[in-house]
Structure 1
């Protein structure tokens, strides 16, 4: 037994003991079963106002928004369903939205859901201005004519019913928490209306949720009483956990392992289209990546088809730029590059880039597909005299490095993106709109023409979607022309779940979120 295998086995045994202890304690107290997720990344921020990363998986079980997005199926169109709001109306000019709240809902502190609570939540989120607070940018005022009515006044027409379904920055939380700071929430405290509350939080290790008392919604017969998010960055360990029954759900397992897992009667491999694109942002602030033709050359050297074949076992599809298929504003005819090493060499020579160039690509340690993409790209770049160093990092460390001084940061930042809410605006404003301080525009790209198209399209989204879509596509094509990023692959959602779990349904609008309240064993 080598040292790595020994350490994995020891870690698995320790985790098994911990999981077993929680299970026994729960059963002894008569509180029912535990649903365990082997989650591949940590949760950087549990503040519902500023959360904008993988922490959405936890918050979606603790907090709720006014609405929820339900994607289209083969037999039904996409829709927005009521959640904390039961109904809503919009004025003829699209600038006034009135939401009617669900009566009888309580926050975890026992206080009632009211219009003032909704107003205070969104105003706190807007005031802090972090994470995805930009989704409320068109809201000029919020009125509360009675305890169960909220009226939004907008500067320009926007689909507030869709915005209110966002997986980030749309959470409603108790008034008692509106004056709390970020540290309070990240200390394991919460103030939601959701089916679970946070009972234990150990940063970098786990988040444990328990069933909330007096939850307003329906709970399935045999519904889970405890949810345990175990942060397992080692994919081998995560696979061991799901196969042994010590976890009920996981993802980010290497694609080459899926066939064997499909053959396991104790497991269900759920494969669905996603709204998720893998891409690498070029650091346009660092030479020679500050030259468009150098970035174009690197994109021409990327092995797109090989990554789909080897990295996703053929399940992925070619990325057509920023916005994936299934979301309006997707550009099916985008002028994307094809792998062409001769053309890449010619562009490098034209810019005077000689053999010996060294570049660093960062990616999350939990993303097996990113590693495969990097290795295949590295091999192609070697033929051009370029050395690509692959630097896997814990997600939070990678993100913090990217947000540091661009001159000291990585050359290529590789990550996945899924929507805050289902709109092309989210992808473009988050990743390619100019930023004074980097957040997710981690290639530091800035183009006034692109900014103007994104901003104008956003204003038209609620009244003239065809025109808005045209502008979004024009912005995307400029991003592709400028080679601000290499768009590697649109990957499917692949989640592994124990076969005895009932009620599971993947929703690609909420990246890798499991709504545990809908499940039972």
Structure 2
């Protein structure tokens, strides 16, 4: 028994962020190109993750600056064979005021697997989840799965009682409700969500952990702003952070107007999603033909709209070339 108790795609290197000073404790205004999906079971991309990790919490989180994972909503865990047993913290309440229980964890797993959306495939190995008592939950896996604990970073825990009160038509697992409202324990609660415009969040004064004094009281996450709009808003002091790629002339103009430019090196990926359950994409040979015919170099040139994007190469799989675990570049 092991015991734990410790606290088709093109990869591109380098991204540019544009910021103007934000007021600590006030309102932080930022943007994302993609619309944020508020339902945590459907979260998959960056905008979704911003919402998920602020409105919801998970059993574990990655250790900052080091390998492994540390307890978060969980206080500790132990494993024996293909079973993992987690003990929950006793001081956590949902934003509704309902206490966190093992039943909420079980419900969250079952809901995510039933919807089959977002990153639910990470939990495909979970054969069953059971509440041993109010503060203990056990996961039984169908087979050995080394990254199971790591996968729990993408299992946001939802308020079962609140969702059950808002199941929606035909018992849709609360999809309509959770696409417009929050039901988490997170440091921020949802004030409003308009997927065509913005999501507004405010600090949860009853959060179970300390929050940095510099954290804003209110966050406005705006979606799909045009480059010209970003320039105007920042120049007028009405926007704080833009993480989308802006044309060089816009960034240059903003720099002259006093905005701060930050360059961040890193690796990202662009990809096309395909529905492989319907013809002709259910045929692997069709997908291989599309991959062989795709003009990667032209796509990379189209994506690299600024000189700060220093490199790009066809991907060899889900992990971008150059990162640990990626397939060899010869496999393109």
Q: TM-score range, shorter-chain basis?
A: 0.7 to 0.9
Give the equivalent residue in structure 1 for 2:149.
Answer: 161
Q: 1:330 aligns with which of 313, 326, 329?
A: 326
User: Is residue 302 of structure 1 aligned with residue 297 of structure 2?
Assistant: yes
Q: Is the 8 A contact 2:55 2:185 kept in 1?
A: yes
1:398-417 matches, within 5 Å, as none
- Cα 1:115–1:324, aligned 2, differ >3 Å: closer, same or farther? same
Pair 1:245 & 2:237 matched: yes
The CA deviation at 1:253 is: 2.2
Q: Which has the higher strand share?
A: 2
Larger deviation, residues 106-115 vs 215-224: 215-224
Residue in structure 1 matched with residue 40 of structure 2 by the alignment: 48
| 1:171 paired to 2:164 | no
Q: 2:113 corresponds to which residue?
A: 126
> Partner residue of 2:203?
211
Secondary structure of 2:53's partner? Answer: helix
Alignment of 1:98-109 (within 5 A): 98-109=85-96
Tell me the equivalent position of 1:89.
78
Following the alignment from structure 2 to structure 1, what is the Cα–Cα distance between the partners of residues 304 and 244? 17
Residue matched to 1:143: 130
Q: Secondary structure at the match of 2:113?
A: helix
- Are the aligned partners of 1:308 and 1:318 in contact in 2 as well (CA < 8 Å)? no
Contact kept? 1:320, 1:334, Cα under 8 Å: no
The alpha carbon displacement at 1:41 in A equals 2.5
CA contact 1:38–1:241 (8 Å) conserved in 2: no
Alignment of 1:380-399 (within 5 A): none
Q: Secondary structure at the match of 1:46?
A: coil
Alignment of 1:119-518 (within 5 A): 119-158=106-145, 159-166=147-154, 170-179=155-164, 180=167, 181-186=174-179, 188-254=180-246, 256=248, 260=252, 266-274=259-267, 276-280=268-272, 285=280, 290=286, 296-299=292-295, 302-303=297-298, 306=301, 311-322=306-317, 323-325=319-321, 327-336=323-332
Structure 1 residue 305: Cα displacement: 7.3
For the residue of structure 2 that corresponds to 1:252, the secondary structure is coil
202-211 or 176-185, larger mean C-alpha shift = 176-185
Contact 2:182 2:189 in 1 (8 A): yes
Distance 1:63 1:293 in 2: 41
Distance 2:25 2:126 in 1: 43
User: Are the equivalent residues in 1 in contact too, given 2:313–2:321 (CA < 8 A)?
Assistant: no
Structure 2 length as normaliser, TM-score?
0.75
Matched, 1:68 2:61: yes
The runs of 5 or more residues in structure 1 that have no matched partner are 1-22, 337-521
Alignment deviations for residues 396-439 of structure 1 (CA, whole Å, 9 cap, x no partner): xxxxxxxxxxxxxxxxxxxxxxxxxxxxxxxxxxxxxxxxxxxx
Quick check: which one's helix share is greater? 1
Aligned pairs, number: 293
Q: Give the distance between the partners of 1:129 and 1:282, measured in 2 at CA.
A: 16
User: Bigger radius of gyration, 1 or 2?
Assistant: 1
Structure 2 residue matching 1:111: 3-state secondary structure:
coil
Matched, 1:110 2:97: yes
Shift of 1:193: 0.3
How far apart, in 2, do the equivalents of 1:307 and 1:203 lie?
27
Distance 2:111 2:95 in 1: 19
Match of 1:164, SS? helix
Deviations for 1:107-160, whole angstroms, at most 9, x for unmatched residues?
011011121211111112222333322221111122222322221110011222
User: CA separation in 2, counterparts of 1:38 and 1:314?
Assistant: 20
Gapped regions of structure 2 (runs ≥ 5): 1-21, 168-173
Structure 1 309/127 Cα, relative in aligned 2: closer, same or farther at 3 Å?
Answer: closer
The answer for the alignment partner of 1:341 in structure 2 is none
Is 1:40–1:235's contact at 8 Å kept on the other side of the alignment? Answer: no
Deviation (angstroms), 1:266: 4.1
Q: Is 1:68–1:80's contact at 8 Å kept on the other side of the alignment?
A: yes
CA 1:204 to 1:304, structure 2 compared with 1: closer, same or farther past 3 Å?
closer
Quote the offset at 1:42 in angstroms: 2.0
Tell me the SS of whatever aligns to 1:207: strand
CA distance in 1 between counterparts of 2:322 and 2:100 reads 34
1:250 Cα deviation after fit: 1.7
Residue 3 of structure 2 is matched in structure 1 by: none
CA displacement at 1:297 relative to structure 2: 4.6
In the alignment, structure 1 residue 79 sits paired with structure 2 residue 68: yes
Compared CA separation, residues 99 and 253, structure 1 to 2 (3 A): same
SS in 1 for 2:242: strand
> RMSD between aligned alpha carbons?
3.3
Give a deviation string over 1:158-212, Cα, whole Å, max 9, x none.
222100012xxx11011223422211122x3221000111112223111111111
TM-score, normalised to structure 1, is 0.50
1:58 to 51, 62, 82: 51
**Offset at residue 62 of structure 1 (A):** 0.5
